Amino acid sequence: MRTEYQMPDDFLWGVAVAAHQLEGAWDIDGKGVSIADVMLAGENKKIQTGGRRVVTDDVLPNGNYPNHRGIDFYHTYPKDFKLLAELGIKAFRTSIAWTRIFPNGDESEPNEAGLKFYDDMIDDMLRHEIEPVLTMSHFEMPYHLVKTYGGWRNRKLIDFWLNFAEVVLRRYGDRVTYWMTFNEINNQMAWQDSHPMLQNSGLKDYPSDQAERLMYQASHYELVASALTTKLAHEINTELQIGCMIAFNPVYPATSKPEDIMMAERAMQNRYYWGEVHATGKYPNWLLSYWQHKDLAIDYTDEDLTIIAEYPVDFVGFSYYMSWTVTDTGDEWLFYDEEKNHGDNPYLQKSDWGWQIDPVGVRYAMNWMWDRWHKPMFIVENGFGAYDQLQTDGSVHDDYRIAYFRDHIKAMKKAVVLDKIPLIGYCPWSGIDIVSASTGEMAKRYGFIYVDLDDLGHGTGMRYRKDSFAWYQQVIQSNGAVL
Ligand code: BG6
């Protein structure tokens, strides 16, 4: 082992999850209904043909709502943390369900039972010497804010958000250093698809010709809210580290044709402008020009722009799963549609859900962001969704997952050790099997720990160590030297 390939001693090897995908207990201890609570289960074959999870107007009595169950982590976390401590993790990324703290989102006083739950959970992590990393909003905003205010299209959401942010920062800021505001805020770039619009911004029931405008408007209010959160956090405690969270899927040109290269460049600028604004405090000129050209009439004030400029994030959190390719559409504004203009990369294999496997893209992503934004980074998601088979002896042979992680960690190490990019930690998705966000399936598994539950919630709920468990354990123990 060449010594120059060693990772920093304080590197945070961890795992990542999100409240709505594992806690269950959707209506316990005063919790309100979140957007995840009105999403029925989907399934892979529907997703492959463009289908999505159906969103119901209210909670239907006999609907299959997998997020209502999760893996019952609300009740099992003490045992699960024991197992995760055995895995050796140094960090655990989860989110705070906004609806446990403010059930409807517009109350002035928080729900003490919800606050207490996270107090206890954080204390349990700390007992195991696991660093908590918290996302404030991970696809689980109060449904009441969607129905009554139209979600983030409404400027009032900034105040509701800040109320929530202040309560949790004050309550947990003495024990939690790393925070992120909005999970994968840039997923809504696929505004032609109603799923990310609801998940990111609570946008539902809008005329389709307004989708693009609403997405940019909602995103602007979120960017202001995020900057104000950074301001607030530093007022509360200067040590707090506030990050954005970007879904990073490199978009490569389909060929070396200059038009394809230009299109891919714009696709990257487009998908990652949220990172640009968060990190540099400025909207890019091309985007302001595009808004004008499309006559989108986005509501943004000089005061908003000053706030954004004055309070950039401390770090850039990002997820990395796959890369895409794009072909020139011939549009002079370089407009393209993610659904229609992405193609297959002939050099890459895909997962069973069609996600292209591209380890080199991790190093590319980190270099791309570092050169532009100059902020420390944190890989807060990376993983491989697969159909795992539990054997009768309780083993699960997931060599495909080990291969995925091995190659991605190798690429990450090159970015850190050779390219000298500051990286705080690596939290693979999802440590323990949980409900898939896009499909609602349990069958799309990401964990090192198998959970015996199926798509209908049937099963013992027992936890089993997969082969990847022992493998990741030695990765952590060796600080990434043994892969
Ligand atoms: C990210 C999300 O998009 O990818 C997670 O932040 C999600 O919430 C993960 O679970 C994997 O996606 P999926 O749809 O396979 O669960």
Q: Find out whether the peptide bond into 430 is cis, omega within 30 degrees of 0.
A: yes
pLDDT at 31 over 60: yes
The residue whose CA is least distant from atom 15 of ligand 1 is 436
pLDDT at 21 over 90: yes
Instruction: Give me ligand 1 centre to Cα 409, in Å.
Output: 19
The residue whose CA is least distant from atom 2 of ligand 1 is 437
Residue 413 lies in a domain: yes
Instruction: Give me ligand 1 centre to Cα 188, in Å.
Output: 14
The answer for 4, left when phi > 0, alpha when psi is -120 to 50, beta otherwise, is alpha
Instruction: Give me ligand 1 centre to Cα 354, in Å.
Output: 14
Domain of 110, CATH number, reads 3.20.20.80
Overall domain count for the chain? 1
Most confident of 49-53, 333-337, 477-481: 477-481
Residue 483 lies in a domain: no
The residue whose CA is least distant from atom 8 of ligand 1 is 437
319, 401, 430, best to mutate for ligand 1 pocket (most atoms within 8 Å of CB): 319
d(CA 202, CA 331): 30
Contact assessment for residue 447 and residue 434, using Cβ atoms and an 8 Å cutoff = yes
Determine the 3-state secondary structure of 106 from DSSP.
coil
43, 141, 429, best to mutate for ligand 1 pocket (most atoms within 8 Å of CB): 429
CA-closest candidate to residue 149, choices 222, 207, 194, 203: 203
Known catalytic residue at 381: yes
Which ligand 1 atom minimizes the distance to the CA of 355?
15
Which ligand 1 atom minimizes the distance to the CA of 438?
14
Query: How confident is the model over 229-249, as a mean pLDDT?
Result: 98
d(CA 409, CA 475): 10
Whole-number Cα distances in Å, 12 to 16, 89, 90, 130, 365? 12, 8, 6, 9, 19
Residue 482 lies in a domain: no
Pocket residues for ligand 1 (CB within 6 Å)? 18, 21, 139, 183-184, 247, 319, 381, 385, 429, 436-439, 444
Residue 463 lies in a domain: yes
Supply the pLDDT for residue 48.
61
User: What does the pLDDT look like over 80-119, one tens digit per residue?
Assistant: 999 999 999 999 999 999 999 999 999 999 999 999 999 9
Whole-number Cα distances in Å, 188 to 31, 180, 197, 252? 26, 17, 6, 19
pLDDT at 4 over 60: no
CA-closest candidate to residue 440, choices 395, 478, 366, 385: 385
Residue 444 lies in a domain: yes
CA-closest candidate to residue 327, choices 349, 345, 348: 345
Residue 249 lies in a domain: yes
User: What does the pLDDT look like over 412-451, one tens digit per residue?
Assistant: 999 999 999 999 999 999 999 999 999 999 999 999 999 9
Supply the pLDDT for residue 49.
59
CA 469 from centre of chain = 22
CA-closest candidate to residue 226, choices 204, 212, 245, 211: 245
Contact assessment for residue 349 and residue 314, using Cβ atoms and an 8 Å cutoff = no
d(CA 152, CA 158): 8
As to burial, measured by CB atoms within 10 angstroms (0-12 exposed, 13-18 middle, 19+ buried), residue 225 is: buried
d(CA 40, CA 21): 13
Query: 260-265 long-range CB contacts below 8 Å, 24 or more apart?
Result: 260/326, 260/327, 260/328, 262/328, 262/334, 263/326, 263/327, 263/328, 263/329, 263/334, 263/336, 264/325, 264/326
Those residues whose C-beta lies under 8 Å from the C-beta of residue 417, and which sit 6 or more positions away, are: 4, 5, 6, 7
CA-closest candidate to residue 350, choices 324, 389, 327: 324
pLDDT at 1 over 50: no
245, 436, 445, best to mutate for ligand 1 pocket (most atoms within 8 Å of CB): 436
Supply the pLDDT for residue 201.
98
Parent domain of 406: 3-477
Supply the pLDDT for residue 47.
62
pTM for this structure?
Answer: 0.97
Which residue out of 140, 222, 338, 381 is catalytically annotated? 381
* Secondary structure string (H, E, C) spanning 209-225: HHHHHHHHHHHHHHHHH
Supply the pLDDT for residue 341.
87
Instruction: Give me ligand 1 centre to Cα 135, in Å.
Output: 14
pLDDT at 2 over 60: no
Instruction: Give me ligand 1 centre to Cα 184, in Å.
Output: 9
Residue 286 lies in a domain: yes
User: What does the pLDDT look like over 161-219, one tens digit per residue?
Assistant: 999 999 999 999 999 999 999 999 999 999 999 999 999 999 999 999 999 999 999 99
Residue 17 lies in a domain: yes
Supply the pLDDT for residue 51.
61
User: What does the pLDDT look like over 274-331, one tens digit per residue?
Assistant: 999 999 999 999 999 999 999 999 999 999 999 999 999 999 999 999 999 999 999 9
Higher pLDDT, 2 or 263: 263
User: What does the pLDDT look like over 336-388, one tens digit per residue?
Assistant: 888 788 999 999 999 999 999 999 999 999 999 999 999 999 999 999 999 99
**Average pLDDT over the chain, rounded to an integer:** 96
Q: What is the DSSP letter of 251?
A: E
